[in-house]
Amino acid sequence: MSTPPASRKGTAYGRLWRRLPAELAYLVVAFPIALTGFVLVISLFSTGIGTLVTFFIGVVLIIGALYVARGFGTLDIMLLEWTGRPAIPRPEWQDARARTGFFGWLRALLGNGHYWLYLLHTMVVDFVIKTVTWVIMVVWVSVALGGLTFWFWNLFIPQGEQGWYLSEWLFPTAIFDARTVDNVLYLALGIVFTATLPIVTRGLTSLHWLVARGMLSAWKSDALQRQVATLSESRGAAQSAEGHSLRRLERDIHDGPQQRLVRMQMDLAAADRQLEADPEKARGLIAEAMQQSKDALDELRALSRGFAPPILLDRGLVAALESAAVRSAVPTRIVDELPTGTALAQEIERNAYFVASEALTNAAKHSGATEVEVRVSLLEATDRAESWLTIVVTDNGMGGAFSIAGHGIAGLQERLRGLGGTLELSSPAGGPTTVTARMPLPTGAQHP
């Protein structure tokens, strides 16, 4: 059953009253804060402009004014959010130029339009608006409180001492007790101003929020720049991770199968020379060559499992992880928390398997663990706009693991960053060690 319009209005009006204390507190403190910011910023900025001929002193003072304005603007945003107004996105304060040295930082600061908008807001706009709204708030509260209490303190004014009556001014020809009618008129006026007080405070606070939203919030171009920077960083990370994987594969092939194949070639050449002179010795060399061939094939299969084992393509991620757990040197338990019917893209499954198998290998080699748990789950946003595949590998080893550039965990971090994901390592001394990998799923990922 739908809610009657009167009920909805009453609920909205009640919400206004619930927000009144915070909004009233904001309006009370806003003017002193704005006045302080106005005095500080205009003093620094005007002095900086006046001493700009010295360059160093003038620039330092202007930079100080920009930073002070930024602080007061940020404080105003925080206070507005405290009153219950919607959050205002913060701007980007530095760009890539800031990492190129002092003059790059200086160009990034002085060339950032947000700093100058915050300066204009603190030095002119905010001070003017808060002065006006503070006066309106003080007048409204004074009339409301004065009207509601006039009848009381009017009792203590001696008869004949009050030289002016509102009722006589409104009704000059009427015959009545002016003192009593004034009490009624002021009480009615106080009730009206009190009833409309939360509406006024909401309007004044909303005005400040709109000004702050227009001058102090991030621009749409900021989000685009962050996205471009993130994509560039992800691309670099993906290239670095791919290069690391290729170098590792090359090293593993060189140290394993290639050496065995060279040995097999030498054994076959020696067997060929001994075939007529010493057939028994030749057969022994051929047997050794066959064993080298078998070992090389096993190593090649092991290497292929590190990238995309057949079971991963045939039966999916969980089955592949269970197969890796069986082969692991440390007893491993797989915990599948994926929703029933979840279907992941092959690229996601391949990278998830690679990360999990690498974490298992590191645990077996370095942790001294006697038990490992691999937990696979799906983390979804509340609006189901995006979802993340999460893999947590925990061992009960001695801990103390850390990331070294170009090795192990660092390589996994590069790989995941290239996918737009993250990898976190927690390994206090004494254990346990926990590796948490998160990968964003593409929009087309299927899940129930």
Secondary structure element (H or E) that encloses residue 49, with its range: helix 5-50
Residue 179 CA to residue 163 CA, distance in Å, equals 11
Share of the chain above pLDDT 70, in %: 70
Place of tokens 């309106």: 136
Both tokens of 170, joined, read 């409104």
Q: Minimum mean pLDDT among 113-117, 126-130, 173-177: which range?
A: 173-177
Tell whether the model's pLDDT for residue 213 goes beyond 80: yes
For residue 8, the model assigns a pLDDT of 47
Cβ neighbour number for residue 267 with a 10 Å cutoff: 21
Whole-number average pLDDT of the chain: 76
Q: Are 182 and 152 in contact (CB under 8 A)?
A: no
* Other Cβ atoms closer than 10 A to 405: 8
Residue 411, pLDDT > 80, answer: no
Query: Any residues with CB less than 8 A from the CB of 387 and at least 6 apart, and which?
Result: 378, 379, 380, 381, 440, 441, 445, 447
pLDDT of amino acid 423: 82
372-380 vs 332-337, strand pairing mode:
parallel
The model's confidence at residue 1, banded by pLDDT at 50, 70 and 90, is very low
pLDDT digits (tens, 9 = 90+) for 73-105: 999 999 999 988 888 888 877 665 555 566 667
Name the residue with higher pLDDT: 72 or 260.
72
- Do residues 275 and 282 touch, judged by C-beta distance below 8 A? yes
User: Comparing C-alpha atoms, which of 12, 33, 24 is closest to residue 145?
Assistant: 24
Residue with tokens 């993250």: 422
Q: Provide the pLDDT confidence category of residue 343 given band limits of 50, 70 and 90.
A: confident
What span, in angstroms and rounded, lies between the C-alpha atoms of 114 and 120?
10
Spatial distance between the Cα atoms of 147 and 189, rounded to a whole number of angstroms: 6
Q: How confident is the model at residue 125 (pLDDT cuts 50, 70, 90)?
A: very high
What pLDDT score was predicted for residue 363?
81
In the chain, pLDDT over 90 holds for what percent of residues?
15
Q: Rounded to whole angstroms, how far apart are CA atoms 327 and 278?
A: 42
Decide if 73 contacts 195 (C-beta within 8 A). no
pLDDT digits (tens, 9 = 90+) for 249-261: 666 565 556 666 7
Q: What is the pLDDT of residue 128?
A: 93
Half-sphere exposure of 375 (CA within 13 A, CB side): 12
Q: What is the pLDDT of residue 229?
A: 54
Maximum mean pLDDT: which of 130-144, 169-183, 395-409, 415-429: 130-144
Residue 273 has pLDDT above 70, yes or no: yes
Determine which helix (DSSP H) or strand (DSSP E) holds 333, and give its type and residue range.
strand 332-337
What pLDDT does 210 receive?
A: 92
Identify the pLDDT of residue 258.
63
Quote the pLDDT of residue 43. 92
More confident residue, 316 or 233: 316
Query: For residue 121, what are its two tokens?
Result: 């807001």
Task: Give me the mean pLDDT over the 207-222 stretch.
Answer: 83
Residue 395 pLDDT > 90, yes or no? no
Using CB atoms within 10 A of its CB, is residue 194 exposed (0-12), middle (13-18) or buried (19+)? middle
Confidence of residue 3 (pLDDT cuts 50, 70, 90): very low
* Residue 6 token pair: 């009167």
**pLDDT-derived band of residue 176, with 50, 70 and 90 as boundaries?**
low
The reported pLDDT for the residue numbered 120 is 92
SS3 372: strand
> Residue 346: what pLDDT?
78
Burial tier of 328 (Cβ tally within 10 Å: 0-12, 13-18, 19+): middle
Enter the tokens of residue 404: 């070294």
Peptide bond into 432 cis (omega under 30): yes
- Number of CB atoms found within 10 A of residue 1's CB: 3
Q: Summarize the confidence of residues 106-134 as an average pLDDT.
A: 87
pTM beyond 0.85: the answer is no
Q: What is the pLDDT of residue 9?
A: 46
Nearest CA-CA partner of 435 in 361, 384, 381 = 361
- Range of lowest pLDDT (89-93, 237-241, 334-338): 237-241
